[in-house]
Amino acid sequence: MLQNIRSNIQGTLAKVIIGLIVVSFALFGIESILLGGGQSGVAEVNGEAITAFEVQQTVNLQRRQLLSMLGDDADPSLLDDDRLTGQAIETLIQRELLVQAAGDLGLMTAEQTIGAVVGDMEQFQVAGSFDQDLFRSVLATAGFTPALFKESLREDLVTNQLRAGLAASDFATPAELALQARIAGEQRDLRYLAIPVDRFDKTDTVEAEAVAAWYDDHPERFMTPESVDVSYIELTLEDFEEPVSEETLREEFDLTRDSFDVPTEARVAHILLIQSDDESDAAYAARIAEAQAAATGDEDFAAVAGRLSDDIGSASVGGDLGYTAGDTFPAAMEQAISALAVNAVSAPVETDAGTHIIKILDRREGKAVSFEEVRGQLAQRLRESAARDELLRIVEDLRDRAFNAEDLSAPAEALGLTVERAEGIPREGAEGRFADPRVQSALFSEEVLVERHNSPVLELAPQRYLVLHADAHHLPERQPLDAVRDEIATRIAAERARAAALEEGERLLAALAGGERLDALASAGEYEWQVELGATRSANALPTALGRRVFTLPPPEGEAPVRELVSSPAGDIFLVELTRVTPGSLENLPAQRENQLRRSIAGEYGSIIIGAYEGALRASAEVEVY
């Protein structure tokens, strides 16, 4: 074949082609052919793929953040994988766009900067200094390689630089500051009277006819949830555990006692001498004698081993071979070892490897384990293994029988199992075993719910099985009036109370307009009233709804106050008199507040700018989500 190729490349065209191949390899390397194409991306941003790995990392991160923010009782729908994945892809697209834009602007991160940032991160430090091993292990736990982590850090740094350059460079001009100070520093004096809605709430006075009418007017309310009554068989390992006889335990102990015994181990060092090909027997014997004399003399055994041993592996560590339990070395050697006391040196021992001079460095005495000590452990092991076999056998049998039976009673009887019942399992918000998504989807499947077949035998956990049969299906239906009478009465009473409170407010307002004073009205009606002087938009002690309304009222003209009725979402009514509005000014603002305003003005402009920048990037990008 090579001859064939050789003769074929004589043509000019062939040479050109080979030239091109050579050039492309030289320029782009073999990776261009091996690694090109074949991307497993989730999305693509201007041709750059976003990988499933990145999405998963981001989802995990967001979930951790949500959990730490909301605690354990976080709404599970917020942590839903689909939802988080959608958000994560969006976040990553936005980030990729910024990374690309930063690249186009020529922003980059020096290797040194990355090194400094990594070195400064506390999670990679032991006793205040960077630790390479900790670095790798922390990353490995999070699923990163160091290269990947540094790449992501590099991206963080350049996007951060881009934001800092564009948005954090924003400022507040003196004119803007003065303007904002006029508004933010504006002070309003007012007094108000509170009419609590509770005072008008009279549930027990709601007439039966009104309740009935309300019930009839709202036919879509008070539906019971869809639910199913089920019978089920649940199998667990414990159900099949039976006591083990003393005899079986003894037997098992005799069979497996070796695995419990702790063997006696000796730590051994040796000097190995090997006769080389051109060495005479006499010279070899002389060498052995020399080593033997040195090893038993005053010189340290380890030093002698280092000097004389032909075993290259152990010579450098003083001849140390580690521990043996009697089965590591050739028999002749083990025999010598077992005969030696600690720190004693043996006479030369011959093995296939050569001649050994052995020293025992340490001996750990073994321990035989008594039956009583391991009895509990053994019994549990035997019980579980027997139960496991029985469980699996029954489960197999149950699969067949449940598949062929009308309901669960016949299979249960045949196998000696108990059928349990549960009523009113809802489609959502079920508890315990019925909350398991596999149970839910089996229970509400066509075959089980409509055709009334037994469900497949579900493995809920290792050694825990469940099979279900739907006995009755309750569609949503309207609760009878009697069941919801109290609920309706409460609702009507609340509606009436709101109206009554508002009416009372209007009455008092009219009285004020007629020349009465707020404090007099308050004491006559036993209402609380308050004066608030110098309230500002950001600092006031007003109820939220009232505070919001007070600062949208026009300032009073002349002496007469501006009056208004404000209802809170709960239905409480506030009757307010705004008496004076003093515009704010920079001079009257504390320095700290002034700085705050400066930052918030710059921050607001910066925020619009970075938002517009990202929006424009997105609009002009080619983004594809698969």
Partner 1 sequence: MESYRTEEEQVEALKRWWKENGTSTLVAVLLAVAVGSGWQGWQARQQAQAEAASMLFQQFLDTLGASEQSGDAAAGEALATRLATEYDGTAYARFAELHLARLHVADGDLGAAEAALRTVLAETSPKEDLHRVAKLRLGRLLAARGDTEDALALLVTDGANPYAGAYAMARGDVLLAAGRDDEASAAYREAQSLADPARPLPGLAEKLDYLNPQPPTAGAQG
Q: Which residues bind partner 1 (CB under 8 A)?
A: 10, 105-113, 157, 160-161, 164-166, 168-176, 178-180, 183-184, 186, 506, 509-510, 512-513, 537, 549, 551-555, 560-565, 598, 600-602, 604-605, 607-609, 611-613, 615-616, 619
Closest to partner 1 by CB, 64 vs 182, is 182
- Nearest by Cα to 454 from 237, 236, 239, 233: 233
What is the spatial distance between Cα 434 and Cα 430, in angstroms, rounded to a whole number? 6
97 three-class SS: helix
Closest to partner 1 by CB, 26 vs 312, is 26
- Nearest by Cα to 580 from 618, 524, 526, 532: 532
Question: Smallest distance from the beta carbon of 109 to partner 1, in angstroms?
Answer: 6
277 three-class SS: coil
Rg, the chain, Cα only: 43
Question: Smallest distance from the beta carbon of 497 to partner 1, in angstroms?
Answer: 19
349 token code pair? 């021992």
CB 577 within 8 A of CB 568: no
Closest to partner 1 by CB, 221 vs 563, is 563
Closest to partner 1 by CB, 2 vs 619, is 619
Which residues, at least 6 apart from 205, have a Cβ–Cβ distance to it below 8 Å? Answer: 493
Q: How many CB atoms lie within 10 A of CB 435?
A: 12
β pairing state of 41-45 and 528-535: unpaired
Closest to partner 1 by CB, 101 vs 492, is 101
452 three-class SS: coil
Question: Smallest distance from the beta carbon of 192 to partner 1, in angstroms?
Answer: 13
CA distance between the termini of the chain: 46
Closest to partner 1 by CB, 18 vs 110, is 110
Closest to partner 1 by CB, 17 vs 331, is 17
What is the spatial distance between Cα 566 and Cα 194, in angstroms, rounded to a whole number? 10
Closest to partner 1 by CB, 244 vs 553, is 553
Closest to partner 1 by CB, 145 vs 173, is 173
Closest to partner 1 by CB, 74 vs 553, is 553
Beta bridge partners of 530: 192
H runs (alpha helix) in 340-461: 371-404, 409-415, 437-443
Question: Smallest distance from the beta carbon of 613 to partner 1, in angstroms?
Answer: 6
As to burial, measured by CB atoms within 10 angstroms (0-12 exposed, 13-18 middle, 19+ buried), residue 510 is exposed
205 token code pair? 């006075």
Question: Smallest distance from the beta carbon of 204 to partner 1, in angstroms?
Answer: 31
What is the spatial distance between Cα 236 and Cα 388, in angstroms, rounded to a whole number? 9
Give all strands (DSSP E) within 30-128, no chain letters: 41-45, 48-51, 125-126
Q: Which helix (H) or strand (E) holds 623?
A: strand 623-625
Q: Which helix (H) or strand (E) holds 358?
A: strand 354-364
Question: Smallest distance from the beta carbon of 568 to partner 1, in angstroms?
Answer: 15
144 three-class SS: coil
How far apart, in Å, are the Cα atoms of 401 and each of 185, 234, 302, 347, 415?
80, 15, 73, 74, 9
Which residues, at least 6 apart from 39, have a Cβ–Cβ distance to it below 8 Å? Answer: 49
Closest to partner 1 by CB, 32 vs 607, is 607
Which residues, at least 6 apart from 113, have a Cβ–Cβ distance to it below 8 Å? Answer: 157
Side-chain-facing half-sphere of 626: CA atoms under 13 Å: 13
Closest to partner 1 by CB, 405 vs 610, is 610
